[in-house]
A and B are shown apart, each in its own frame.
Chain A
Amino acid sequence: MNLVPTIANIKKTEKEGIVGSVSFNFDGDLNAGQVFKIGTFGRGETTAWVTELDNKTVTVSFLDNNSVTHKIMLLPPNECITIRGPFGNGFSLLDERNVLLISQDDGILSQKKLINDLLQNGNQINLLHFTSFPKDVFMGSSLNKAMSPDSPINGDIVDMTKKGPQDLDAFIKSSIKSEYISGINTVALSGNEDFQKSVSKVLEKTAIKDKSIQILFNRNFVSGMGWSNKDLYGITNIWKEGPVFTLDQIRRFPGVFI
């Protein structure tokens, strides 16, 4: 790896709330849960999640909350951005029939492509999105469309501000109703670690096997070079073997989900 980026010309940029998206040409296969490092010369790089791949055009999304993303969102079509990647393994659950997708806040960025892929593949989808920003749900329009009455997806958006003083575990447990879990073969889970831990506690009491629960272990991906305790869990490098792991793999990470 020599860290020299390639140049891509922007096809379009879009913004919904704080979530920004940029599209560019890409030839190859991509999975939901993979990331690109995108940037502009002079500002540096930021991490962006693969959210769509259509006819050799990839769309990546990110939270527009730093100087790199602000600059990218100001760029017109045909302007240049730098790209490196894709990095990571991504989710792989197309072979399972009944799928439960659980995400928290910007965790939906890593699952958006998965929803489309599963719909095209004809899987049965249950979808639970937990939001800390009920007035400005990340990718709210896409989620509302996915959960509309004419959509085959059975889903709900859970308002986490209603948690109040109660314990996160108890809140998550009460939010994941049995109708979402019954008959499920596999689960995709994205969110902060506290959230993932609470969800895992609920899932481990169901019939769903640990190895059928895929969890995106988000880490602050920077250069991808050199190893540090930033992206290591014991002997596992998150960005070499992940970031998507099964729950039984994560149980072997020291200090996590014990």
Chain B
Amino acid sequence: MSKAKLKYWLEDIRKRNELWAPVGSKGAVSYLKNPKGESVATDFTNSLDCPKYIFCPQQEAICNYEIQGRGKVAIEAIEPDSTPRVVFGLRPPDIRGLEILDAYLLKDQIDQRYEAKRKNTVNICLGYHNPPPCCFAESVGVDLFPKNGSDILLTDIGRSYYVETLSEKGNSLISEHFNDADDIVRNEAWDIQKKSQGKTNFDLNLNRWQDFTDNEIYTLPYWDEIYLGVIADSVATRYFYSGTYFKIVDVNSGNKGTRYKTWTTMYSPGFSTLANGYDYKPSLKEKFKDWILEMFHFFPKRHGFLGCSGAHRCVAGMTTKHDLRKIISNVDFGL
């Protein structure tokens, strides 16, 4: 597909679906709803926030209520949103991020709202030919041109995109704006995909972890010091997929109101405080250590892949002055 035709393709998609696409300049890109085709960004390395809010909004209404008198309350459940939706331009770490959210929200306790959105959304992945220097996606097992997890994969080959449809949902977006790729184009795309391999492959030394028990890893003296540079910042919830959890909030107006499910973080006040005032994770050390071990040790044990997207948002962003890659690769096992 010629790059010039991208905006027309997106306009076509927008007519039939709710379109989410990246908008902004290089350093500050966010996914917005129904942007115009010409304003969609394609040359960014990564969005500022992880786009989990498309599938799992920061505030999601659960039900409306009306207090009608003593002993009478009317509840109107808000049904899961099944609007046909297309998300354009997800970068490979965010495809992994959705897999992490799936593990949290589609197993055991199924979040019906998240499930409905996932089922009715077509994901278009923009392959990572230009990962930023601090990205470590391949280190955590993310393919820069993933053939799983998205419905369509676009490879930037300069003047045009090489389009691969990867699922039935992806096939539904095949358009007259596409031309059949000949062998030259196909080889060019494969060449770009091949040349990109290894660009984000930072050795995290995770193979060393296998030789130690959960208790041994959890009680390493290393964790007693490494948290010192951490800034307890609740904004962190916008940047991470793992450690996703929610609280319930009511917003009232007179005798009517809405109950919401909202994001919250381990840094939120009262995160681990019981009703009797006892705090079972009182220090930043425990919260930070648990977050890291959840991503790199326990999540993989439960789900078979790392709970980190390698998107580098934590390195570029908020929670620590340290580099997470170095924290992980330099774990001191006291050998």
Q: Which of A2-10, A118-126, A143-151, A200-208 contacts B (4 or more CB under 8 A)?
A: A2-10
Docked-complex contact A230 and B109, CB < 8 angstroms: no
Stretch at the interface among B200-208, B247-255, B325-333: B247-255
Q: How many residues of A contact B (CB 8 A)?
A: 50
Residues 208-225 of B at the A interface (beta carbon under 8 Å)? 214-215, 217-219
Binding site for A on B (CB under 8 A): 62-63, 65, 67, 70-73, 75, 77, 80, 104-105, 108-113, 214-215, 217-219, 243-250, 252, 257, 259, 261, 264, 266, 270-276, 278, 280-281, 287, 290-291, 293-294, 298, 301-302
Check B62 against A3 for contact (C-beta < 8 Å): yes
Chain B residues whose C-beta falls within 8 Å of the C-beta of A252 in the assembled complex: 214
Indicate if A183 sits at the interface (CB-CB under 8 A). Answer: no
| Chain A residues within CB distance 8 Å of chain B | 1-5, 7, 9, 37, 39, 41-47, 62-63, 65-66, 76, 78-80, 105-106, 192-193, 218-220, 222-232, 234-235, 237, 240, 252, 254-255, 258
A sample of 27 inter-chain contacts (CB < 8 A) reads: A2-B77, A2-B80, A2-B112, A4-B62, A41-B67, A41-B250, A47-B275, A76-B70, A80-B71, A193-B280, A219-B280, A220-B271, A222-B246, A222-B248, A225-B109, A225-B245, A225-B246, A225-B261, A227-B244, A228-B245, A228-B294, A229-B287, A230-B245, A240-B108, A254-B214, A254-B215, A255-B215
- Within the assembled complex, what's the spacing in Å between the Cα atoms of A79 and B70? 6
Contact B109 A80 (CB under 8 A): no
Closest 10 CB pairs between A and B? A254-B218, A229-B290, A228-B245, A254-B214, A255-B218, A226-B245, A223-B246, A78-B71, A42-B252, A192-B278
- Residues from chain A with Cβ under 8 Å of B249 in the complex: 44
Min CB–CB distance B80 → chain A (angstroms): 8
Cβ contact within 8 Å between B65 and A41 = yes
Bound CA span A220–B264, Å? 13
Q: How many pairs, one residue from A and one from B, have CB atoms within 8 Å of each other in the complex?
A: 146
